[in-house]
Amino acid sequence: MLSHISVFVLLVAVGLPAAAQGTRYIGDDVFVVLHTGPGKEYRWAAKLTPGTRMEVASISSDGKWAKVTTSRGTSGWVGTEFLTAYAPAQVKLPAAQARAEQLAEQNAELSSQLKTLQAEKLELLNLVNSTDSELGDVAQQLANLKQISGNAVQLDTDNRRLVEESENLRSEVEMLEAENMRLQDKLKSEDFINGALAVLMGVFITLVVPRLWPKRRKSSSWA
């Protein structure tokens, strides 16, 4: 008697994990009656379709019945042989289909984003090429400005040199003008002296020279 009890307890202990507390499902292609008690003699509480999800609350002492509550809130007892810990295909399929649709939508969205990014990339490449071209133009303009600036420096140097030469020439011209005025004054002085000498000479010849000649004696009318 004790050996039979030990075997029974062992069988219950072994079978218990298969219908332990937690989430369980009705297997594929099986319609199961939910009873109000742990046995077929109890009245029906509901009819469970394949893939029905439920939460196991407890196991009968013989391990053949599990007290469950469905996802709709219906409670009762169901045979543990109909329970499985894994969701059946018909439960997984809608979820897989929903997941596939979700992934398809995400893929479409990612494809759209990829096209947008590719368009933006192309636009950026065009902008970079345009910027490179503009930078080339700016570099050329800068080189031209440097050349012009160098020419301007040379022109400024030449201008300064010409101004200096002009000042030197002006100084020389002023010196020549001063010398010319001095010579003119000298010539005027010499002309004045020569004129004065000529006048004096004329006066001398007119007044003095005749006196130097001997006077002739007048002949007597009585001779």
Write the CATH number of the domain with boundaries 9-87.
2.30.30.40
pLDDT for 219 = 52
Q: What distance in Å separates the CA atoms of residue 202 and residue 148, rounded to the nearest whole number?
A: 77
Which one of 4-18, 30-44, 81-95, 151-165 scores highest in mean pLDDT?
Answer: 30-44
- Which pTM was predicted? 0.36
Mean pLDDT for 190-214 is 76
Q: For residue 217, name the pLDDT band (cuts at 50, 70, 90).
A: low
pLDDT for 214 = 62
- What b/e sequence results for 137-156 when a residue is b if at least 16 CB atoms lie within 10 Å of its CB, and e otherwise? eeeeeeeeeeeeeeeeeeee
Q: What distance in Å separates the CA atoms of residue 80 and residue 54, rounded to the nearest whole number?
A: 12
Q: What distance in Å separates the CA atoms of residue 125 and residue 98, rounded to the nearest whole number?
A: 40
Q: 208 pLDDT exceeds 60? A: yes
pLDDT for 16 = 42
Nearest CA among 20, 124, 130, 8 for reference residue 68? 20
Those residues with Cβ within 8 angstroms of residue 37's Cβ, 6 or more apart along the chain or in another chain: 77
Q: 175 pLDDT exceeds 80? A: yes
Q: For residue 176, name the pLDDT band (cuts at 50, 70, 90).
A: confident
Q: 180 pLDDT exceeds 50? A: yes
Q: 39 pLDDT exceeds 80? A: yes
Q: 173 pLDDT exceeds 80? A: yes
Which of the two residues, 60 and 2, has the higher pLDDT score?
60
Q: 75 pLDDT exceeds 50? A: yes
Q: 55 pLDDT exceeds 90? A: yes
Please state which of the ranges 49-53, 89-93, 127-131 shows the lowest mean pLDDT: 89-93
**Mean pLDDT over the full length of the chain:** 80
pLDDT for 21 = 74
**Beta bridge partner(s), residue 33:** 47
Q: Write out pLDDT tens, residues 15-25.
A: 444 446 788 98
Q: Write out pLDDT tens, residues 115-124.
A: 899 999 988 9
Mean pLDDT for 54-79 is 92
